């Protein structure tokens, strides 16, 4: 039986003008001469088609983040670090976006989580004149790009709400260039700026809020090097609620008289799927048969990760957490952690979102350089649908001296728990009845006592936690600015 299908749509013109038409080219040349197409060239270099019908917000953000050369800090496929729709899962699970689309506030949340600097406005928070000034600002620079969310009906196009980057501006005609990421449907096109404002000044029925626009630019810092939050399924909601509500209540309602007792209260009630929320950022690559030496770039990133890991392990809080976890028999072997990371890596490398990946075996080895060890690599044999794929996981490590010589320390539950506790708001511990203990706890989590790189890592997690809290409370549309600490 034949399946109905559609090959593109005819662009309603007017009001839109096809970018590749004779008139579209003329409008482009006019704008180019006036200097309002500077941002276009970076955007068009990284322009992509949304991979799912409801992924317009994710695709638009991927285009802009890549155009701004923001390093995601994790690999996409093969050896390449690159923003892809499949990696934008910090604020809302991808399956939810695929099914229901995504709101303006959640795209803003994703931009913040990805480490970008964001200014976002619903139309009722701005004016058409301010919007025009922002369009000009992004059009005369390649360091700032705009994403607009609008209703297609105003342009006589099929469909409803949509996201796309704004690629340029013609001041004489007062027209903006929409780089439509639904390229299977409509090509890039020029539209009157006034109509674009009207299309944005519409109500998104899923939120009850007006649509709007966001300006995205490079941050002063890159995203987290070693730790990040993930929302690949709905389990993060319960975990976030536990961290936000249950932990403060537990430490204030029970008679705790030591840091170890506080940790016992926190960790004994952790949701079983807790490890799905916070993870260490793994460098994953497909195992190659040739030269196994690390590239200069891989070595550089591995060294930075090792610095962060060492800084975590040197905190007093880490020592307390390690002591407590050891007392309850907690074990987190490198092979087990690596097997999980290898499966996650294989999922990313294949572009497949599935729970059917399993790691049949792992092998830990040290990669040698010309004179010294360059790093630790865990090779895992990942099985999926009957086929096998060898995946390399580059693992940061630190060394400590012990009675039997030097000992290698790898990322484990101890340091993940440590950075999570550091990332919790200071008021989490304000309910502790013993004042001396409360002051000790606050000293252990004090940002002032942390080295710079670890401070940035913890701040990144705090921002992510705060953004997750907004999403959980459905407040992401009300508060569009980045969390401040």
Residue among 197, 201, 179 at smallest CA distance from 60 = 179
Q: Which residue has the higher pLDDT, 331 or 81?
A: 81
Query: What is the distance between the alpha carbons of residues 400 and 484, in angstroms, rounded to a whole number?
Result: 36
- With a CB cutoff of 8 Å and minimum separation 6, the contacts of 214 are 104, 107, 108, 111, 118, 119, 120, 121, 146, 147, 480
- With a CB cutoff of 8 Å and minimum separation 6, the contacts of 73 are 81, 222, 223, 224, 225, 228, 281, 301
| Token pair listed for 196 | 């674009």
* CA Rg value for the chain: 25
Q: What is the pTM of this model?
A: 0.70
CATH superfamily of 17-217: Phytochelatin synthase, N-terminal domain (3.90.70.30)
Which amino acids are annotated catalytic?
Answer: 56, 162, 180
Q: How do 405-409 and 398-402 pair as beta strands?
A: antiparallel
**C-beta of residue 317 within 8 angstroms of C-beta of residue 421:** yes
Q: Is the pLDDT of residue 321 over 80?
A: yes
Residue among 209, 102, 118, 227 at smallest CA distance from 162 = 102
Report, as an integer, the average pLDDT of 378-397: 59
pLDDT digits (tens, 9 = 90+) for 429-462: 888 888 899 999 999 999 988 998 899 888 888 8
**C-beta of residue 61 within 8 angstroms of C-beta of residue 88:** yes
The per-residue pLDDT for 315 is 94
Query: What is the distance between the alpha carbons of residues 250 and 264, in angstroms, rounded to a whole number?
Result: 11
pLDDT digits (tens, 9 = 90+) for 99-149: 999 999 999 989 988 888 899 999 999 999 999 999 999 999 999 999 999
- Cα 70 to its chain centre, rounded Å, is 11
The per-residue pLDDT for 120 is 94
The per-residue pLDDT for 476 is 72
Domain ranges of the chain: 17-217, 227-473
* Band (296; pLDDT cuts 50, 70, 90): confident
Q: Which residue has the higher pLDDT, 361 or 400?
A: 400
pLDDT digits (tens, 9 = 90+) for 217-275: 987 656 566 777 766 555 666 777 787 788 888 888 878 888 989 888 888 877 766 66
Q: What is the DSSP letter of 228?
A: E
Report, as an integer, the average pLDDT of 202-223: 87
Q: Is the pLDDT of residue 48 over 60?
A: yes
- With a CB cutoff of 8 Å and minimum separation 6, the contacts of 386 are none
Q: Is the pLDDT of residue 354 over 50?
A: no
pLDDT digits (tens, 9 = 90+) for 470-481: 776 777 777 777
Query: What is the distance between the alpha carbons of residues 139 and 404, in angstroms, rounded to a whole number?
Result: 62
Average pLDDT for the chain: 81
* Band (154; pLDDT cuts 50, 70, 90): very high
Burial degree of 255 (CB within 10 A; 0-12, 13-18, 19+): exposed
The interaxial angle of helices 128-139 and 38-45, nearest 10 deg, is 70
Question: Which residue is listed with tokens 């030591």?
Answer: 258
- With a CB cutoff of 8 Å and minimum separation 6, the contacts of 349 are 75, 77, 78, 284, 286, 389, 391
């Amino acid at each position: 039986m034949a399946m109905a299908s559609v090959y593109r749509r005819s662009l309603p013109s007017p009001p839109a003008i096809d970018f590749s038409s004779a008139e579209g080219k003329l409008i482009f040349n006019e704008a180019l001469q006036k200097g309002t197409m500077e941002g276009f060239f970076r955007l068009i270099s990284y322009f992509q088609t949304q991979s799912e019908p409801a992924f317009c917000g994710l695709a638009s953000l991927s285009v802009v983040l890549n155009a701004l050369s923001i390093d995601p800090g994790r690999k996409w496929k093969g050896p390449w670090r690159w923003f892809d729709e499949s990696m934008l899962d910090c604020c809302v699970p991808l399956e939810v976006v695929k099914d229901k689309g995504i709101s303006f506030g959640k795209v803003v949340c994703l931009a913040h989580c990805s480490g970008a600097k964001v200014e976002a406005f619903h139309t009722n928070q701005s004016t058409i004149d301010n919007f025009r000034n922002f369009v000009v600002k992004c059009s005369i620079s390649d360091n700032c790009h705009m994403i607009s969310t609008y209703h297609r009906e105003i342009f006589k196009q099929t469909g409803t709400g949509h996201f796309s980057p704004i690629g340029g501006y013609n001041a004489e005609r007062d027209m903006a260039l929409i780089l439509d990421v639904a390229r299977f449907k409509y090509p890039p096109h020029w539209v009157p700026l006034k109509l674009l404002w009207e299309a944005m000044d519409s109500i998104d029925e899923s939120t009850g809020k007006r649509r709007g626009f966001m300006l995205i630019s490079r941050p002063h810092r890159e995203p987290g090097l070693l730790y990040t939050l993930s929302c690949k399924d709905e389990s993060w909601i319960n975990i976030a609620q536990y961290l936000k509500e249950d932990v403060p209540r537990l430490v204030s309602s029970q008679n705790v008289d030591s840091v170890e007792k506080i940790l016992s209260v926190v960790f004994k009630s952790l949701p079983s799927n807790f490890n799905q929320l916070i993870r260490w950022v793994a460098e994953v690559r497909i195992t190659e048969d040739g030269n196994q030496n690390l590239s200069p770039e891989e070595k550089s990133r591995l060294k930075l990760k090792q610095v962060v890991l060492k800084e975590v392990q040197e905190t007093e809080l880490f020592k307390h957490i390690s002591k407590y976890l050891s007392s309850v028999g907690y074990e987190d072997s490198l092979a087990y952690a690596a097997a999980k990371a290898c499966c996650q890596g294989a999922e990313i490398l294949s572009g497949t979102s599935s729970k059917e990946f399993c790691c049949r075996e792992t092998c830990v080895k040290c990669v040698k350089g010309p004179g010294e060890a360059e790093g630790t690599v865990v090779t895992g044999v990942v099985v999926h649908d009957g086929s096998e794929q060898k995946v390399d996981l580059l693992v940061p490590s630190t060394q400590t001296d012990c009675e039997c010589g030097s000992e290698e320390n790898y990322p484990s539950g101890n340091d993940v728990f440590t950075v999570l506790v550091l990332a919790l708001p200071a008021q989490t511990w304000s309910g502790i009845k013993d004042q001396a203990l409360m002051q000790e706890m606050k000293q252990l989590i004090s940002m002032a006592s942390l080295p710079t790189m670890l401070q940035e890592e913890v701040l990144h997690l705090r921002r992510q936690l705060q953004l997750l809290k907004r999403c959980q409370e459905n407040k992401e549309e009300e508060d569009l600015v980045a969390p401040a600490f």
